[in-house]
Amino acid sequence: MKSSNTHKGAAILILIFSAIFLIITGRFLYIQSTAEIEGVNLNEWAEKARTSSYSLDADRGNIYDKNGMLLAYDRPTYKLYAVVDPEYSRSEEEPEHVTNPEETASVLAPLLNMEESEIEERITEAQEDGRFQVEFGSKGRSLSQDQKEEIEDQELSGINFEEESKRYYPNGTFASHIIGFARTEEGHLTGVTGVEKQMEEHLREEKGEISYERDKYGSKLLNPNEVLQEPEDGHDVHLSIDQKIQTFLEDAMATVDEQYEPEKIMAAVMNPKTGEVVALGNRPSYNPNDLGEVDNWYNDIIADSFEPGSTMKMFTWASAIEEGVYNGEDTFKSGSYEVSGSTIRDHNREGWGEITYDEGFERSSNVAAAKLGYDLLGPEKYRDYLSAFHLDEKSGIDLPNEGEGRVLYDYPIEQVTTSFGQGTTTTPLQLMTAATAIANDGKMMRPYTLSKVTSSENGEIISEKEPEVIDKPISADTASQMRDLLGRVVSGENGTGSQFELNDFSLGGKTGTAQIPKEGGGYLTGKDNHIFSFLGMAPVEDPELLMYVAVKQPDLDATETGSEPVSYILKSVMENSLHYLDINPDQNNDHKVEEKEIKDYAGKDVNKTEDELKKNFNEVTVVGDGNKVKATLPESGTTMLSDQRVIVITDEPEMPDITGWSLRDVQRLAEHFDLQVESMGDGYVDKQSIKEGSQIKEEGYLVVELSTPE
């Protein structure tokens, strides 16, 4: 017989197991009825585990020039990644993960410019670590559409792409100091310099988000509980910059930069009647698409202050005329001027004897300026005029990081030297702003580069800039008298600006040769160690354009003067720009550039059309071997200058040889065929990515390398 103890033990065990069973069963019943474990709602947990959230890209606003040319936009690029988790695949027959790391590495290596071993190691390490996917660093990012398609053609299992936006500047260095650049910060493209920074509030996009429940393969469930927040694109910004005038400026600066290798070049072109800045540039410059090596971030023409030199004299003379103390026929003894124990001398040291004040302006006499500012006006009154011309404050241009000069005016010697542009410093933009009063009948205009902001969705104008008169330091009569004096500087018998005379238009302006201070006091010596400048306006009686050019420390030959690199830029840009703006020439000369209207040649014989066009235009290019004309660029009805290129598109177009073309001609061809253009360098086309004779594919991609002619 079994002992009573055995029966008791069995009974106890039965009770224990029964209790455990009841507890577990009760727990299951509780979980089933409440769907909670230790305060965690299982339904909510499962829903969260099944839910995926993805951001929806939005585009940063575009930047355009005043004529609608695209200067900055978001271009899609792609990031490559490899899925390495075997559970992601639905079947062995159609794997959706990397099944052969060695083969995958072998195929990807030449396409990504990576070592096979590096790719294979990344994949195998990710698999061993139990990760879902792996990326390939910088070599696997910013891939173009062509690169993506080339990789997709290899049909590698587990290789996928994620689209990313990258800010793109189709014209490279073109106006880069105005446009600036944006880069990705915390998932957003964010402006760092220039208009990209200044207009961040308008350009910035707002990404959207979508979330839904899915299975382990990423497919939506039948009832996915989808939540969508729509993305919002940024607004578009339109600049006052005119692409054609900016191109004239870029080309001219590139030529001087190549030939003279100066420390800096600063130049800008403004409409003095409105304050619109239509072109602005600096050298050194940079390509915002490639920020690897940047020699100069700063927009020097608005940020850098230095002694203006003799360009300051136009404001000294204007102040004396306005105050009524000036008589141009009065004479003075040139050569030297004494003040507080110091001697001021004219630039030729001995002067020109007894001359009139008008002649003193033509010859850029320091002594005449000193007498006008210190003796006739007096230091206090002259100081008032410096403020009236806003030479002691920023211009207020709508670009970031504007600098300002300093009026050095504490002692008599400083009050005298300020009158002819030494000691006191200004930025070039401060001088240009002040000069609008002379060009615009006394009304001084605030400079601006931002014309309007529009909706990227429907083009509706959100805000628009209006010209702003910020002061009237002189009368219209004074301004007219000053323009006459400025004209004599260029075309007068004794003028210091004769090198700047234009072919077709009258020009008025003032040269400047500023010394460069050195550490420890004093100035640098030597012929090249100056900032050579010119501030001018044309046509001089009724100026349509105001331009400033400064070249710092150019490498001059023994026979060259500092005015030569400056005059090359100014003459090239002014002459071409005024013709482009259809301003009537007011000077007679032997070289005439005529205006011709392009007729409608559509459907006509190509050879006859080419012969007829060549009678009126110096450059005619036929695109393709077709017999009939499909279109002309520019289109019919357009008025062109006889020295500009006309492009004839045939009914069988092929890529022409565009060597020697200007960037604006390339853009015209690209717009017709809807090509995306990427340019590198400055000047004229030296190399092209689409070979001559090749088929032109719409929405294709054209890369051109530019170089400056010898």
Nearest CA among 579, 537, 577, 680 for reference residue 242: 577
Buried b (16+ CB within 10 A) or exposed e, 203-238: bbbeeeeeebbeeeeeeeeeeeeeeeeebebbbbbb
> Read out DSSP for 117-170?
HHHHHHHHHHHHTT-SEEE-GGGGSSB-HHHHHHHHTT--TTEEEEEEEEEE-T
Q: Which one, of 514, 485, 490, lies nearest residue 502 by Cα?
A: 490
Cα 190 to chain centroid, rounded = 15
The 10 Å Cβ neighbour count of residue 341 is 7
Residues 112 and 82 sit within 8 Å (Cβ to Cβ): no
Decide if 316 contacts 368 (C-beta within 8 A): no
Catalytic site includes residue 707: no
The angle subtended at Cα 418 by Cα 413 and Cα 421, nearest 5°, is 130
Query: Number of helices (H) and strands (E), helices first, in the chain?
Result: 20, 33
Contacts of 324 (CB under 8 A, 6+ apart): none
Q: Which helix (H) or strand (E) holds 331?
A: strand 331-333
Query: Which residue among the candidates 310, 334, 491, 567 is catalytic per the annotation?
Result: 310
Distance (Å, rounded) from C-alpha 683 to C-alpha 282? Answer: 15
Please compute, for residue 64, the number of CA atoms within 13 A of its CA located in the half-sphere on the CB side: 17
Q: Residue 645 contacts by C-beta under 8 Å, 6 or more apart in sequence?
A: 617, 619, 620, 621, 661, 662, 665
Catalytic residues: 310
